[in-house]
Amino acid sequence: MPIKAILTDIEGTTSAVSFVFDVLFPYAREHLPAFIRAQADKPAVAAQLEAVRQESGETDADVDRVVQILLDWIAIDRKATSLKALQGMVWAEGYRAGELKGHVYPDAVQALRQWHAEGYRLYVYSSGSVQAQKLIFGCAEVGDLTPLFSGYFDTGSGHKRETASYARIAESIGLPAAQVLFLSDVVEELDAARAAGMQTCGLARNGGELPGHKTVASFSAIDPSAD
């Protein structure tokens, strides 16, 4: 079946792991405490703080304790939907202030533009919130890349190592999974996407292989018409 849509991961795939770990996470660590203390009563923030209490099992935690739980989760890169939502809100302020610019590899920019021009539908699936995804591509170093994308998926569709998440995404896109090519740097994500019927391509930007999957070091080596 020909590929009609390309679904891509962000961290380690379109964008450098170091941008996430050395720029985005430290920015969140620095600004999250003041952001939460200032905005804790706003409904969108209060809802996420409550979700942190539920997920941590500390249902009576005060705001200071919730902040500490969130900082601990950043330190272990926990992919909690509530943390990701709050990080997205904090990063939005950084992008708005011009303190952050989204990193997207030049080869990814070029391929995404070419595939869009060729008529492929492009989608993002990341553990980062949809808001954070739109920011990294919307405020990229090269300008606004969001017109290239037809949609965004985060952990609201399920976790990235679970097969059901990819089945849900294919259904939402409205294509048989076999017509979707999924790109990622994490073998467990590629395995889950394949188990749902998607085609897969691994990104190993420093070389090497993602076992069981076609693996490339750059988007320039991907030809969706050959899959």
Residues near Mg ion, by CB under 5 A: 9, 11-12, 185
Q: Which is nearer to Mg ion, 9 or 32 (CB)?
A: 9
Q: Using an 8 Å Cβ cutoff, are 196 and 177 in contact?
A: yes
Closest-CA residue to 132 (of 10, 38, 21): 10
- Closest separation in Å from C-beta 60 to ligand L4RZE5RM: 28
- Two structure tokens written together for 17: 């792991």
Pairing between strand 199-203 and 215-216?
parallel
Q: How far apart are CA 87 and CA 77, in angstroms?
A: 12
Q: Which is nearer to ligand L4RZE5RM, 33 or 138 (CB)?
A: 138
- Closest separation in Å from C-beta 24 to ligand L4RZE5RM: 6
Residue 157 binding partner per list Mg ion, ligand L4RZE5RM, none, with a CB distance cut-off of 5 to 8 Å that depends on partner kind: none
| Type of residue found at 202 | G
| Type of residue found at 108 | A
Q: How far apart are CA 108 and CA 18, in angstroms?
A: 16
Q: Which is nearer to ligand L4RZE5RM, 11 or 191 (CB)?
A: 11
Q: Which is nearer to ligand L4RZE5RM, 13 or 179 (CB)?
A: 13
Q: Which residue is nearest to Mg ion (CB)?
A: 12
Question: Taking the chain, what is the end-to-end CA distance rounded to the nearest angstrom?
Answer: 9
The residue ranges that bind ligand L4RZE5RM (CB under 6 A) are: 9-11, 20, 24, 79, 84, 87, 126-128, 132-133, 136, 160
Q: Which is nearer to ligand L4RZE5RM, 30 or 223 (CB)?
A: 30
CA atoms within 13 A on the CB side of 153: 22
Residue 160 binding partner per list ligand L4RZE5RM, Mg ion, none, with a CB distance cut-off of 5 to 8 Å that depends on partner kind: ligand L4RZE5RM
- Two structure tokens written together for 27: 């920015």
Q: Which is nearer to ligand L4RZE5RM, 167 or 183 (CB)?
A: 183
- Closest separation in Å from C-beta 13 to ligand L4RZE5RM: 7
- Two structure tokens written together for 60: 């009576």
- Two structure tokens written together for 176: 């048989």
- Closest separation in Å from C-beta 1 to ligand L4RZE5RM: 26
- Closest separation in Å from C-beta 68 to ligand L4RZE5RM: 19
Q: How far apart are CA 189 and CA 202, in angstroms?
A: 10
Element at 80 (helix H, strand E): none
- Closest separation in Å from C-beta 171 to Mg ion: 23
